[in-house]
Amino acid sequence: MDVLGIGRTTGPLSDQEVNQTVHQAAAALGANGKKVLAIIPDYTRTCPLGQVLRELHSALAGKVAQLDFMIALGTHPAMTDEQIDKLLCVPSGKRHEAFPGVNVYNHSWNDPSALQQVGVLSADRINEISNGLFSMEVPVTINKRVLGYDMVVIVGPVFPHEVVGFSGGTKYLFPGVCGPDMTNFFHWLGAVITNPRIIGTKNTPVRAVIEAAAAMVTVPKFAISMVVKGDDLAGMYFGEVRQSWSAAADLSDKLHIIYVDKPFESILSRAPAMYDELWTGGKCMYKMECVVADGGELIIYAPHLREISVTHGAVIEKIGYHTRDYFLKQWDKFKHYPWGVVAHSTHVRGIGTYEDGVEKPRVKVTLATAIPAETCKRINMGYRDPAGIDVSYWQGKEDLGRLYVPKAGEMLYKLKNPPAWQTF
């Protein structure tokens, strides 16, 4: 199947272009009489999801045997009915009027009864994909509801991503709707390689692991992959999932990466409201790590953020935020914790060293959030009172080595001439 779609680096797509592309995608899908599952993002991703799903429903209603939505939560908390209505851009309580006949499911990553094993990635295969970093079997499980449909359509945006290189595509299956074994393994694989080397790289060992697992899901898989710039849609591509994602990743590479000449001593990275816990707010560090100067400071500025993580907070409070080498050189002490949580810890803390019992992170990471100072100290993070932050100290001060990012987490900043530790 050829990829359908449109994308541009200057100017947004019009509503007519978006709607026309969705209807072309629905026609090319060949879904008449079939059961179709659309796998969609939760509220932590920016895209015109409501518009696209309305058009998809309009194009397929009355033609398919069933159309349902599943939210690719990964390990994020389940969404409430009110949150789902907001996600779908419908008035509260009016979802069934806007999408008659459509069921919306939260993924249950930690409920064994909701999962089904579809295969195993062998130790030899993992060794090959990871270039010898790991040699272990990884069970591949997925939400069993997925297997009850005739086809899957992944509907979501593509951005540079700290674990896999670029988000989207089969990442909506793994970790979107899979079990914990795959999630923990490939997140830790990405962390061992490190965020600066992975993020913004299209083809990575982590992406290869996900694609290998996705091949075990035999339901035909397609995708409507979106590329968002600011509040506008710059690109939309439909096709078989890998081809759709690839086209979107190529456009994302052009639109979502900002190259700078030199690093900054201080960065104020402001989290948007959609990041309501540090688990997602950590993107304010991931996307900026490459342009913080050695010994500099990255401030995650989010006065609204009160939680470390609803799902994983207890574990994070036990292990704290540390560099990769801190964990690797004490692996017997930490290997029994969920590897995905350990990976998150290293991604937020950034790279550094651990020698003779002394940890030396490359940069200082400070939280200016509603998380109390004593908690920040306990989890090995810096603290600033957000009420004391004067944004003007960073605004327009790039020539003084200070940078303000008003909506952090989706645009990636990189150096034009990166050092070796940032190259794959």
Q: What is the token pair recorded at 154?
A: 């992944």
Q: What share of the chain is helix, strand, coil (3-state, %, to 5)?
A: 35, 25, 35
Contact 94, 84 (CB under 8 A): no
Q: Are 180 and 74 in contact (CB under 8 A)?
A: no
Q: Is the peptide bond before 386 cis (omega within 30 degrees of 0)?
A: no
The CATH classification of domain 4-255, taken from the options 3.30.930.10, 3.40.50.11440, 3.40.50.1980, 3.30.1600.10: 3.40.50.11440
Q: Are 276 and 86 in contact (CB under 8 A)?
A: no
- What are the residues whose beta carbons fall under 8 Å from the beta carbon of 335, sequence distance 6 or more? none
Strands 35-40 and 151-157, sheet pairing = parallel
Helix ranges (DSSP H) in 163-262:
180-193, 195-198, 205-214, 241-255
Helix axes 205-214, 180-193, angle to 10 degrees: 160
Q: Which pLDDT value is given to residue 93?
A: 84
Is there a contact between 383 and 373 (Cβ–Cβ < 8 Å)? yes
Measured CA to CA in angstroms, residue 117 lies from 111, 197, 286, 313, 337 at distances of 13, 31, 32, 28, 22
pLDDT confidence of residue 161: 95
Asked if 210 and 170 count as a contact pair (C-beta separation under 8 A), the reply is yes
How much is the pLDDT for 119?
97
DSSP string, 304-372: T--BS-TTTHHHHHHH-S--HHHHHTTHHHHTTS-HHHHHHHHHHH--EEEETTEEEESSEEEEEESS-
Tell me how far apart the alpha carbons of residues 86 and 273 are, in angstroms, rounded to a whole number.
Answer: 14
pTM of the prediction?
0.94
**Two tokens, residue 62:** 């009355």
Q: Which CATH architecture has domain 259-422?
A: Alpha-Beta Complex (3.90)
Structure-token pair, residue 258: 């900002």
Closest CA to 154 of 248, 62, 244, 283: 244
Cα 114 from Cα 102, distance rounded (Å): 20
Q: Which two tokens stand for residue 301?
A: 């500025």
The confidence score (pLDDT) of residue 47 equals 82
Nearest to 37 by CA among 67, 13, 14, 64: 67
Burial 349-371 (b: 16+ CB within 10 A, else e): bbbbebeeeeeebbbebbbbbeb
Residues 6+ apart with CB under 8 A from 294: 263, 362, 363
The pLDDT value recorded for residue 354 is: 98
For the CA atoms of 293, 297, 301, 303, the dihedral, rounded to the nearest 10 degrees, stands at: 180
Spans of the chain, pLDDT less than 70: none
Neighbouring C-beta atoms of residue 212, cutoff 10 Å: 20
CA distance 297 to 320: 18
Whole-number Å distance between alpha carbons of 252 and 234: 9
Domain boundaries, the chain: 4-255, 259-422
- Rg over alpha carbons for the chain, rounded to the nearest Å, is 21
